[in-house]
Chain A
Amino acid sequence: QQQVKQSPQSLIVQKGGISIINCAYENTAFDYFPWYQQFPGKGPALLIAIRPDVSEKKEGRFTISFNKSAKQFSLHIMDSQPGDSATYFCAPTRDTGRRALTFGSGTRLQVQP
């Protein structure tokens, strides 16, 4: 897991605010960059993912920004809602071979009403 560093460890945002979570990776062979969302007692679920041929991808309130040269990518949650309160993991991987996900240590997001 030292290959992937995620920050911040925890985040408190007011309802309607913007949540930003960052992920830095070391392995230049990674070519698929997903974010997973995990609620207590549940397994992680794919939220949004990006490939290195684009610098940004938006799906509803969720946006991934990707900086290949800096080996970083981030998750932006616009208009954060209490239902977004969960733990978020970046989990880059190689899109060939075993495709095992390399998870960051997670960011616990709390959206206050």
Chain B
Amino acid sequence: DTGVSQDPRHKITKRGQNVTFRCDPISEHNRLYWYRQTLGQGPEFLTYFQNEAQLEKSRLLSDRFSAERPKGSFSTLEIQRTEQGDSAMYLCASSLTPGEETQYFGPGTRLLVL
């Protein structure tokens, strides 16, 4: 078990471009969360999956954002038509429910939109 992994670790893009991030949770973890962390702030909840079902999306997640978790394994977060305000660290976390409540976080993908 190597923990939660995220790819890429860093992404620089130009405004208006589309970007996609990947998260591989701890194997057998059925819950997967996405959070966004801006500089000097705590992470904010974006969305979460129970297996392959996306159960809730935060109001922070505009229509330009879409997340998937096909087959309940890895997840992708896509941002279309990126804006400078999208620059942040995007964190993925996974947990096992019911059971241990601890959310295990990946190292994050740092996005910079120029």
Contacts and interface: CB of A to CB of B under 8 A. Distances in A.
Contacts of A32: 101
Count class of interface residues, chain A: 20 to 34
Interface stretch (B11-19, B61-69, B70-78, B89-97): B89-97
A42 B107 contact: yes
Contact of B33 (A46, A100, A102): A100
Contact of B41 (A46, A49, A100, A106): A106
B95 A41 contact: no
B55 A98 contact: yes
B50 to A, nearest CB: 9
A46 B95 CA distance: 12
Nearest to A95: B101
B64 to A, nearest CB: 21
Given A91-B42, A100-B45, A101-B43, A41 B107 contact: yes
A101 B41 contact: no
A99 to B, nearest CB: 6
Interface of B: 4, 31, 33, 35, 40-45, 48, 55-56, 91, 93, 95, 97, 101-108
Interface of A: 1, 4, 6, 32, 34, 41-46, 49, 89, 91, 95, 98-106
Given A45-B104, A91-B42, 17 more contacts: A1-B41, A34-B102, A42-B107, A42-B108, A43-B4, A44-B43, A44-B91, A44-B105, A45-B105, A89-B43, A99-B31, A100-B48, A100-B56, A101-B35, A102-B45, A103-B44, A105-B42
